[in-house]
């Protein structure tokens, strides 16, 4: 274990926005495709580090719904080819590392041969009990919420439920991630200070870590640095820190309470 990590306070779930492949290539006067290729290489290093430290959940934003809609067809096709070859070439290593793979997103809209390979990889690794690697593919946070609300509305109708009984738990139950804990830590590479429609519901209280390092240069050690930073944070979930004495408002003179 990386010596600076507190083994008692590891996150349960780390999510990563893998950004910067195009910029990595641009800095070398290469086509964006080379950046994606190097980015795919970087994935397995990080997955294996997650497995080594016993991280239960690692979720990687690999391809957004907006990427699918807004990028040139040639780039989208290349990303699909890369995904297929990543799966083909890495299932054995996932098995060696006890890693199980699954997916979130509107994956039914992906090309058939990609979906077949995805199913094959999920099937081949489903008995592994270490890290669960979740790839977000054709994923959008808002469309996940639309899908969840549609399913919830159907359930409300079918069961004749009262609307004032619908709670956060019911929304959570219909998310793609219903069986997963929310991320404790969200890492974004290449410096952009935005969420880009990733896990909008789930990151309500997630700690965010942004690094300028471009995704193809990101390795396991950099995830460990992010986790180390996370371990220095104090999570309050809207409450007070442990040990903070609550002010006794009742005993203050009215003059000190003017607002
Ligand atoms: C991230 O790299 C990978 C995908 C979104 C598929 P980008 O392709 O967004 O790279 P930049 O942001 O243009 O550098
Ligand atoms: C987010 O990166 C999506 C993925 C990493 C798959 P983008 O490059 O698509 O995000 P924006 O366009 O900079 O917000
Ligand atoms: Mg980008």
pLDDT digits 0-9 by tens, 97-112 = 999 999 999 999 999 9
Domain 9-140+183-195+208-232 in CATH 3.40.1180.10? yes
Cross-strand pairs, 228: none
CA-nearest residue for atom 10, ligand 2, is 196
> Would you say 247 and 76 are in contact if contact means Cβ atoms under 8 Å apart?
no
Q: What is the pLDDT of residue 258?
A: 73
Catalytic residue, from 21, 67, 90, 97: name it.
67
Query: Which residues make beta-bridge pairs with 137?
Result: 63
**pLDDT score for 255:** 77
Strand ordering across the sheet containing 100-104? 100-104, 132-139, 57-64, 13-17, 185-188, 207-210
Gap from CA of 196 to ligand 2 centroid (Å): 6
Q: Please give the number of the atom of ligand 1 that sits closest to the Cα of 63.
A: 6
Q: pLDDT value at position 1?
A: 57
Task: Pick the catalytic residue from 19, 68, 97, 182.
Answer: 19
Which residue lies with its CA nearest to atom 1 of ligand 1? 19
Ligand 1 atom nearest to 23, measured from its CA? 14
**63 Cβ below 6 A of ligand 2:** yes
- Below-70 pLDDT ranges, the chain: 1-2
C-beta atoms surrounding 126 within 10 Å: 10
Residue 101 exposed, middle or buried by CB count within 10 Å (0-12, 13-18, 19+): buried
Contact 32, 25 (CB under 8 A): yes
Tell me whether residue 138 is one of the annotated catalytic residues. no
**Number of residues that this document lists for the chain:** 259
The long-range contacts involving 189-192, CB below 8 angstroms and separated by at least 24 positions, are 189/16, 189/17, 189/18, 189/19, 189/20, 189/213, 189/214, 189/215, 189/218, 190/19, 190/20, 190/23, 190/214, 190/215, 191/20, 192/19
Those residues whose beta carbon sits under 5 angstroms from the ion ligand 3 are: 19
Residue 127 burial (CB count, 10 A): 9
Candidate from 15, 19, 39 with most ligand 2 atoms within 8 A of CB, to mutate: 19
Pairing of β 132-139 and β 185-188:
unpaired
Check pocket membership of 18 for ligand 2, CB cut-off 6 A: yes
Ligand 1: centre distance to CA 14 (Å): 19
Asked if 77 is an active-site residue, the reply is no
Report the distance separating Cα 94 and Cα 92, nearest Å: 5
Q: How far apart are CA 192 and CA 73, in angstroms?
A: 24
Q: Is 40 in the pocket of ligand 1 (CB under 6 A)?
A: no
Among 16, 17, 18, 22, the mutation site with the greatest number of ligand 1 atoms within 8 A of its Cβ is 22
Please state the atom number of ligand 2 nearest to the C-alpha of residue 61: 6
Q: Are 231 and 5 within 8 A, CB to CB?
A: yes
Q: Helix 32-53 and helix 220-231: axis angle, to 10°?
A: 60
pTM reported for the whole predicted model: 0.95
- Residue 139 backbone phi and psi in degrees, to 5: -100, 140
Looking from the CA of residue 136, the nearest atom of ligand 2 is 6
Say if CB 35 and CB 23 are below 8 A apart.
yes
């Amino acid at each position: 274990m990386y010596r600076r990590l507190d083994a008692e306070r590891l996150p349960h779930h780390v999510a990563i926005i893998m950004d910067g492949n195009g910029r990595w290539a641009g800095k070398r006067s290469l086509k964006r495709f080379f950046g994606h290729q190097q980015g795919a290489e970087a994935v397995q290093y990080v997955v294996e580090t997650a497995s080594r430290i016993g991280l239960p959940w690692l979720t990687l934003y690999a391809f957004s719904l907006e990427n699918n809609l807004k990028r040139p067809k040639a780039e989208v096709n290349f990303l699909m080819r890369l995904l297929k070859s990543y799966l083909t070439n890495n299932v054995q290593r996932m098995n060696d590392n006890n890693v199980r793979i699954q997916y979130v997103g509107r994956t039914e809209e992906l090309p058939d041969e990609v979906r077949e390979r995805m199913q094959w990889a999920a099937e081949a690794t489903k008995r592994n009990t270490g890290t669960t690697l979740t790839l977000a593919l054709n994923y959008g946070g808002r469309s996940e919420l639309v899908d969840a609300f549609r399913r919830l509305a159907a359930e409300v109708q079918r069961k004749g439920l009262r609307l004032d009984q619908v709670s956060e738990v019911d929304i959570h139950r219909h998310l793609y991630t219903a069986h997963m804990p929310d991320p404790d830590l969200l890492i974004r590479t290449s410096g952009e200070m935005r969420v880009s429609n990733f896990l909008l519901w789930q990151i309500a209280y997630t700690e965010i870590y942004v690094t300028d390092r471009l995704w193809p240069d990101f390795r396991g050690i950099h995830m460990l640095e992010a986790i180390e930073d996370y371990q220095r944070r104090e999570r309050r979930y809207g409450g007070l820190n442990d040990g903070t004495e609550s002010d006794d408002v009742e005993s203050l003179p009215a003059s000190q309470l003017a607002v």
